[in-house]
Amino acid sequence: MTTQDTAARPALRSQRLNQITHEPHSKLDALVKAHAPFETQANFARFVVAQYLFQSELVALYNDAELTAIVADLPARCRAEAAKADLADLDTEVPAPVAGAVNNTSKAEALGWLFVSEGSKLGAAFLIKRAVGLGLSETFGARHLGEPAGGRAQGWKNFVKTLDELEFSAEEEAQLDKGAIDAFNRFTVLLEQAYTPETA
């Protein structure tokens, strides 16, 4: 690697992940806005369906022993049950799994998925304020957007610090990048699925 290459690459792994996921992240944000989840409770319920589908696919990662050895509070960070409770609050059925869920990932690839899931908690700080306008809260209908124990910022800083300090090979770095990009693309698929009108 030349010094020029080094200068072009972000110093921290987490910064690189933010950089390489900028495009799929922007695409997903635009798609969320297009579906106007905060216009009505019914629209928001579809958004929660997508959130539940995504989080339920990550339950195995959040409870993986090898990953928990890296991030000690990982199981407590999972939001699948909170999203499931939100669906009940919104009188919405728990959706059936959608084919194509993450499966048999390497440790590095799994951390890429978790990077995206954990990072979304920062954006949830803005979303919960919009949900309040629909009569929802951290205890009813929008639990999965609630503030994690210990605070959003601190939880994210702890996760990123751990991720940035791991020793990875070039192959593992590539797997990490793939996991993060795949996570954004997967949520995009699930969001489209959640807002697709059901055929009779």
**Domain layout of the chain by residue ranges:** 36-195
The pLDDT value recorded for residue 76 is: 96
pLDDT, tens only, 130-167:
999 999 999 999 999 999 888 899 999 999 999 999 99
pLDDT > 80? residue 12: yes
Average pLDDT, the chain: 93
The pLDDT value recorded for residue 9 is: 63
CB 178 within 8 A of CB 114: no
The upper half-sphere exposure of residue 200, i.e. CA atoms within 13 Å in the direction of its Cβ, equals 0
- pLDDT-based confidence at 200, cuts 50/70/90? very low
- pLDDT-based confidence at 180, cuts 50/70/90? very high
List beta partners, residue 140: 137
Compare 147 and 8 and report the one with higher pLDDT. 147
Domain 36-195 has CATH 1.20.140.10: no
pLDDT, tens only, 46-68:
999 999 999 999 999 999 999 99
- pLDDT-based confidence at 71, cuts 50/70/90? very high
CB 52 within 8 A of CB 95: yes
The pLDDT value recorded for residue 150 is: 86
pLDDT > 70? residue 8: no
The pLDDT value recorded for residue 134 is: 97
pLDDT > 60? residue 121: yes
